[in-house]
Amino acid sequence: MYKKIVVGYDGSDRARKAVDQAADLATAVGAQLNVVTAVSKKNKIHEIGESTDKQYLSDVEIARDRLVDVAADMNHLDVRVTATPGAPAQVLVDEAARIDADLILVGNRHVQGLSSVLGSVAEGVAQKAPCAVLIAKTA
């Protein structure tokens, strides 16, 4: 069955629904859940805080912190988080290949037409995935 599941998260409500569905599936089958986010390839540095509390964090560090917060809600699971620069579909496919995932779960977009229903990320993942792909209804 599924031992490693990859799901993407971009901070949106729809992405959170996909993460929640992936967590439910991972719980049901006892799988490891890998929550992944793609960030800009530029990976800018941001100044956060004031004077003595000032920190400098990259886009990857900020995204990873956001994923850690999401994973904290799932303390009953084996959850791994990854933030990587690149295009979302490619980042999901690459992470699935890197960890030898059994499944990538992606959300859909609910608009007219087949490729619009899937969305460009889901369509890109479905075309290049090294494993099974589940498209979850998130709209």
User: For residues 105 and 88, what is the distance between their CA atoms, to the nearest angstrom?
Assistant: 13
Each residue of 27-36: pLDDT tens digit?
999 999 999 9
**103-107 vs 79-85, strand pairing mode:** unpaired
* CA distance linking residue 11 with residue 9, whole number of Å: 6
Residue 61: its H or E element: helix 59-72
- Per-residue pLDDT at 48: 74
57 touches 46 (CB < 8 A): yes
Most confident of 9-18, 91-100, 115-124, 129-138: 91-100
Q: What pLDDT score does 46 carry? A: 62
CATH architecture of 4-136: 3-Layer(aba) Sandwich (3.40)
Parse the chain into domains and list their residue ranges.
Answer: 4-136
pLDDT in tens, 68-118: 888 888 888 999 999 999 999 999 999 999 999 999 999 876 444 444 445
Residue 52 vs residue 27, higher pLDDT = 27
